[in-house]
Amino acid sequence: MAFEIATVPDVAGIRAIYDLDAALSDSDVADYAFQRQRATDGHDDLLPHLQRVVEISFACWGDDRLTVSSLAAANSAEGALIARFSQELTELGGTAACWGANQRQRPVLNLRSLIHASLISELTGRACAELRHPFAGIADLSQHLSAFAPDGGVPLHQLAQLLGAGRAQALTGAQVWDAWRSGAAASVTADCERRALASLRVLLRLRCLVGELDVAQMAVAEFAIGARTAQQS
């Protein structure tokens, strides 16, 4: 199983941290955060603790069948969304993979789960003091393929294109925010699912490379992934 998350700026948190004027709109607050990030690092990927999770999508291949699902509706609360993801991982034995997990997805999920610890514990029936974090089993495909070295900024959508996927530019953090605040939650979900499918494509190639999947099985899976991705383009 591969997964992806979609995030938007945590406007309330950003207001509090930077003591911003209450008269500023949510858009102004988000723009302020993006501008600070661009000035510091040259991109608009906010620090993990300032990203609010609004969607989590799965792409699973098993029994010659592709399953794609997303957990959020437009008004889903972040804590409940993360709790649902934790429950999904528990049912799957805590195994899931994505591209760049150690740099983005895991830090975001870990830090944001602290904010909602009581709710997540209540919804999952897990004690907050449990030593093993529910996201410890997430595998980082980029680090695995680069012998546990940084991924060098390899864009997942470019790698997927080299593996046979069609051209699909992933949304930036600012673009996700623009779509979300304009009410286009469906486009955010579609982008999240495309990323999950791209990670699944990489995962299947890796399984084939190490002999856990033969070429014919991989071809069947990739045909299904290609057909589903085309529906979302």
pLDDT of residue 50: 97
Architecture of the structural domain at 2-232: 2-Layer Sandwich (3.30)
pLDDT in tens, 202-216: 999 999 999 999 999
Mean pLDDT throughout 68-78?
A: 83
The confidence band for 184, taking pLDDT boundaries of 50, 70 and 90, is very high
Amino acid at 180: W
End-to-end CA distance of the chain: 22
CB half-sphere exposure, 59, CA atoms < 13 A: 30
Specify whether the CB–CB gap between 47 and 7 falls below 8 A.
no
**How deeply is 222 buried, as exposed, middle or buried, from its count of CB atoms within 10 A (0-12, 13-18, 19+)?**
buried
Share of the chain above pLDDT 90, in %: 62
Residue 98: both structure tokens together: 């994505």
Q: How far is CA 210 from the centre of its chain?
A: 25
More confident residue, 126 or 136: 136
Residue 204: both structure tokens together: 């299947």
* 177 has a pLDDT exceeding 60: yes
Domain extent listing, the chain: 2-232
